Amino acid sequence: MPLVAHTDLPTFQRLREEGEEILDPARASHQDIREIHIGLLNMMPDAALEATERQFFRLVGACNQIVQFHVHPFTVKGLKRSPQAQAHIDKYYESFEKIKLDGLDALIISGANVTHPSLSEEEFWQPLTEVFSWAKENVTSILCSCLATHALIQSCYDITRTRLPAKRWGVFSHKLINRAHPLVAEINTRFDVPHSRFNEIFQTDMEQKGIKVLAASKEAGVHLAVSPDGFRVVFFQGHPEYDAISLLKEYKREVMRFYHGEINDYPPFPENYFDLPVQQIFSDYEPHVRSTRQTGKKLDDFPEALVLEHIDNTWSDTAKAIFNNWLGKIYQLTHQDRRLPFMDGVDPNNPLDL
């Protein structure tokens, strides 16, 4: 069933323009269909703020459960914002206080950029852990993306992520480890997922704390895991929500950072993402970037338009299937009442049970 445009958030109109079915509130009010309310804690930097909205909204809207989806974006303090991004947040986002008052059936927590070696040193750490504490006792299931996965695991299981020798960046093949879990029902046993991170929590560390790993890659490590109870928290280390061109946009940003002297090394290609013709186009562009960086001459436009037809998305179908399974399970668990039957025998005050 489609998303309900219960606010004037511009993302709804963008999705309509892309062909997504979006219900207006008046039409939604005449349907005798149950609602599910999903929070989106969006901590992404300004350049990706609205794109992240669209990416997760699409995955929710692609779910085939007979239900109306209301997505409630909000954020936390401690994230530096431009005036434009802050104006967007002030106008369209809800406060955490309102979220707590109204309640949620599910919660998605995005990644974020960091500026300190330790997550606990970040300004957003304390507000984020407050969201964790509330959600663990009041939300049926929490889905964490990338940095949010690292943060919740550090907060609840005392596992600190490990800095990688180089950025884990590209599209990687993953294989199911636990095929019986309902979250991965009827999906391919091998599938692609984009990754973009400098840090990792390893499979052995997760399993020592009882976290159940569902899918992993020999090259990229764990992508999909769940809390010991099997469902209360879903962990992504990759980015299945990414658009086809998300890694292309990120590569462009890195090239521009090199041009402006913000980084010293020219960025490598994301792994398993650019085909040979695209690699050749960008390899031909590199000497021009290096030359103009030294001479101060005008930089030619990044040749993005020349490569778009070569960029493929090899992960979204699996991402949609996992989201459909996730939201379908939430629908089942919250259908009768707010009680969580899968939590019988689980102590909510014990982080190892969450």
Question: Of the listed 50, 122, 200, 241, which one is catalytic?
Answer: 241
Query: Could you give the maximum distance between any two Cα atoms of the chain, in Å?
Result: 68
Is residue 239 annotated as a catalytic residue, yes or no? Answer: yes
Question: Of the listed 146, 174, 223, 254, which one is catalytic?
Answer: 146
Q: Which two structure tokens, joined as six digits, stand for 102?
A: 């109204």
DSSP alpha helices (H): ranges in the chain? 10-17, 25-29, 46-61, 83-92, 96-102, 125-138, 147-157, 203-208, 246-259, 276-295, 316-334
Instruction: Tally DSSP H helices, then E strands, for the chain.
Output: 11, 11
CB contact at 8 A, 147 and 155: no
Instruction: At 162, give phi and psi (nearest 5°).
Output: -110, 135
Q: How far apart are CA 293 and CA 251, in angstroms?
A: 17
Is residue 146 annotated as a catalytic residue, yes or no? Answer: yes
**What residues have CB less than 8 Å from 74, skipping those under 6 apart?**
39, 40, 41, 42, 93, 94, 95, 96, 98, 99
Q: Work out the end-to-end distance of the chain between its first and last CA atoms, rounded to an integer number of angstroms.
A: 30
CB contact at 8 A, 122 and 115: yes
Question: Of the listed 53, 63, 239, 250, which one is catalytic?
Answer: 239
**In terms of C-beta distances under 8 Å and separation of at least 24 residues, what long-range contacts does 81-88 make, across chains too?**
81/46, 82/46, 84/46, 85/46, 85/49, 88/49, 88/50
Q: How far apart are CA 331 and CA 140, in angstroms?
A: 10
Pairing of strands 233-236, 141-145: parallel
Is residue 156 annotated as a catalytic residue, yes or no? Answer: no
Estimate the crossing angle of helix 246-259 against helix 46-61, to 10 degrees. 170
Residue closest to 232 by CA, chosen among 136, 344, 100? 136
* Catalytic positions, written as ranges: 146, 239, 241
